[in-house]
Amino acid sequence: MTFFKAKKIVIIAEKILSEKICAIIDASGARGYTVVPAGGKGAHRRHFTSERASVVDDFSTVRIEVIVSDKSVAETIGNKVVEECFDNYSGIVYLEDVEILRPDKFNGE
Amino acid sequence: MDFFADFLVRFLVQFQSPTLGFLIGGMLVAALGSKLKIPNAIYQFIVFMLLMKIGLEGGIEIREANLLAMALPALFSVLIGILVVWGGIRIFSLLPGVNTEDGIATAGLFGAVSASTLAVAIVMLEEEGIVFEAWAPALYPFMDIPALILAIVLANIHQKKQKGGKDIRVDVWQIIKESLRGSALSALLLGLALGLLTNSGSVLNSFYEPLFRGFLSILMLIMGMEAYDRIKELRSVAHWYAIYAALAPLMHGLIAFGLGYIAHLLVGFSPGGVIILSVIASSNSDISGPPTLRAGIPSANPSAYIGSSTSVGTPVAIAVGIPLFIALAQIVFDL
């Protein structure tokens, strides 16, 4: 089997932003994304993943991953997320090289 | 002197209620670093259960109620919501070291309403045998929504002034929608509709009613644990927030008590209803308010407003406010 090179863009942001970020990803032409609960410590304060009930659920963080074969799409997503969301909310964005199977799944329309 | 002695005795009796015990127990457990955990899903389910029960009961009674009697208390609720936010912003603007947007968001949260505080008040009134109009809890959105809208609109006007020229429009309808779709208000409104339109008496009496107190005790435990956890966040912001959070609930409740008394004289609003109105006014939103404010005033620091509300405001409203208003009503209305 042959692996193909692709880019993975990872966004860690407050849960309250996830809808907005997913809309940006959809608009960029990426074909899909994965959202998982996140936690940890950042510049603002600790965001712990906790099994304990949290009265304000929307302040926990999520990790959103998008794989695209075209780097420019990844750049567009990253720039837009930083511009539109991270003025007032905490979050980070980074890019990773990944190798994928079935590249047609990651091509834009 | 008799008045105060009488008041103090009644106040202390209220303090022994099991509901408050669970709240303090939760704080203690968290302070001792216990590994006791109540899963989030259970918390969300409890909120649903409590508000569904309150809604059903209200809906069933509204069928026979004279809705005109609700008009004045509803109007007062809107008025209190606006007054609390406006007053809170004025107070914060006078305090040193308080960021304007943080102050506006905190005032907004204290004007909004807490479903859990309301549920505690209902149980304590039942324990005391004080009757109230079952539609009184439905005053909740009348205070909650105007308070949140006012805070968000004022924060945006402030930002616009600072940035100069750049037109920021506040989508009021969006805030109303967000509030009504929040988990607590949705459950309350659904309950009201079901109580009003269906024969839901049997499911209320066999399921929701018997479980109400037990679930409330678990909710209080969660609130207590959360209150202790959030104190650390409150420490990182100005002390004024803690002082405001300790005094504002009582002040707001007393204003509402006064207006409720006027409604009692004018339209026969019951003493229990006056207490409910005071509790709604003294409570500060914990479930739906914070995300709404976070979305509406993104520049405000959530540690300031959530810390003040969850770790100081809500415990004060529950542990001091409710007993105070009940004791006050018992004396004023001679119950």
Please list the rounded mean pLDDT of every run of 10 residues in chain B (335 residues). 74 77 91 88 91 92 80 95 96 91 95 93 90 91 93 89 69 84 89 93 94 92 89 83 95 96 94 96 89 87 88 92 92 87
Per-residue confidence band for A1, with pLDDT thresholds at 50, 70 and 90: confident
Q: Is B302 touching A (CB cutoff 8 A)?
A: yes
Q: What's the gap in Å between the CA of A89 and the closest CA on chain B?
A: 7
B15 Cβ neighbours under 8 A, 6+ residues apart: B319, B323
Helix, strand or coil for residue A101? coil
**Residue ranges of domains in chain A:** 4-102
pLDDT digits (tens, 9 = 90+) for B64-90: 777 788 899 999 999 999 999 999 999
Taking domain B2-332, whether its CATH number is 1.20.1530.20 is answered by: yes
CATH number of A4-102: 3.30.70.120
Using CA coordinates, name the residue in chain A closest to B236.
A45
- The structure tokens 């499911």 sit at B203
Per-residue confidence band for A55, with pLDDT thresholds at 50, 70 and 90: low
Residues of chain B in contact with residue A43, where contact means CB-CB under 8 angstroms, are none
- Nearest by CB: B286 against A50, A55, A89: A55
Please name the helix (run of DSSP H) or strand (run of DSSP E) that holds residue B71, with its range, or none: helix B68-94
pTM: 0.87
